[in-house]
């Protein structure tokens, strides 16, 4: 099934509680049964609109307040054929900042060599081997293999969504 390049997914940021008194006092805390949510169908970065592409399936990107997140601008073309729409130079990615990943996740990783470089790649586990794999139309990008996680590279986060220019 082809992906509609103009379809934007929705970023669910906060739940909406039914009410909070502004006169007298009422129950404290967040309503465990919200009446709705704040849903965002695009974001503005430097006054330019970007659509949201969910990489976790479905059209809803949940944004729990208990997690740490960050947004990073992509530079380069090593992931321009990543599923489902490619991650292009100039896109932004929403990361859940964490040090672990599952096989097949797209990760932000720091490679531990002389100058500690960062990259965005697929994370692949093959037995005792860990692989950072590009998905690119450019043949200069090759996968890199490591024998131990945290001995050669560190995961800084996993990609939850892509923000693409509209």
Beta bridge partners of 94: 71, 161
Residue 51: C-alpha distances to residues 7, 69, 81, 130 (Å) = 8, 18, 18, 32
Q: Has residue 84 got a pLDDT over 60?
A: yes
Catalytic, out of 121, 136, 137, 164: 121
* Residue 164 annotated to the active site: no
Contacts for 70-77 with beta carbons within 8 Å, 24 or more apart?
A: 70/94, 70/95, 70/97, 70/157, 71/45, 71/95, 71/163, 72/108, 72/120, 73/45, 74/120, 77/136, 77/137, 77/138
What's the structural domain count of the chain?
1
Task: Compute CA 37 distance to the chain's CA centroid, rounded to the nearest angstrom.
Answer: 20
- The pTM of the full predicted model, rounded to 2 decimals, is 0.73
* Residue 121 annotated to the active site: yes
Residue at 23 is within a domain: no
Residue at 154 is within a domain: yes
Residue at 73 is within a domain: yes
Residue at 55 is within a domain: yes
Q: What is the pLDDT of residues 46-82, one digit of tens each?
A: 999 998 888 888 888 877 666 788 888 898 899 999 9
Q: Has residue 5 got a pLDDT over 80?
A: no
Backbone angles phi, psi at 81, to 5 degrees: -115, 20
Catalytic, out of 51, 78, 136, 164: 78
| Contact between residue 146 and residue 152 where contact means Cβ atoms under 8 Å apart | yes
pLDDT: is 49 or 11 the higher one?
A: 49
- Whose structure tokens read 């502004």? 22
Backbone angles phi, psi at 88, to 5 degrees: -100, 160
Residue at 3 is within a domain: no
Q: What percent of the chain has pLDDT over 90?
A: 30
**Residue 143: pLDDT band by 50, 70, 90 thresholds?**
very high
**CATH number of the domain where residue 152 is located:** 2.10.109.10
What pLDDT is recorded for position 98? Answer: 92
Strands 92-97, 153-165: pairing is: antiparallel
Backbone angles phi, psi at 27, to 5 degrees: -60, 145
Q: Residue 141 carries which DSSP code?
A: -
Q: What is the pLDDT of residues 90-132, one digit of tens each?
A: 998 888 889 999 999 999 888 776 566 788 999 999 988 899 9
**What is the extent of the structural domain holding 152?**
10-17+33-165
The mean predicted confidence, pLDDT, of the chain is 80
Residue at 2 is within a domain: no
């Amino acid at each position: 099934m082809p992906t509609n390049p103009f379809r934007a997914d929705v970023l669910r940021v906060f739940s909406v509680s039914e009410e909070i008194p502004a006169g007298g006092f009422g129950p404290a805390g967040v309503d465990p049964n919200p009446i709705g949510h704040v849903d965002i169908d695009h974001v503005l970065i430097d006054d330019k609109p970007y659509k949201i592409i969910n990489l976790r399936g479905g059209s809803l990107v949940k944004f729990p307040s208990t997690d740490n997140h960050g947004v990073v601008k992509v530079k380069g073309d090593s992931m321009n054929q990543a599923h489902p729409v490619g991650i292009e130079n100039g896109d932004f990615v929403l990361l859940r900042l964490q040090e672990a990943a599952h096989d097949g996740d797209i990760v932000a990783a720091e490679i531990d060599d002389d100058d500690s470089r960062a990259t965005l790649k697929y994370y692949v586990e093959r037995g005792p081997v860990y692989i950072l794999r590009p998905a690119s139309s450019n043949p200069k990008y090759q996968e890199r293999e490591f024998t131990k996680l945290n001995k050669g590279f560190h995961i800084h986060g996993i990609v939850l969504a892509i923000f693409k220019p509209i």
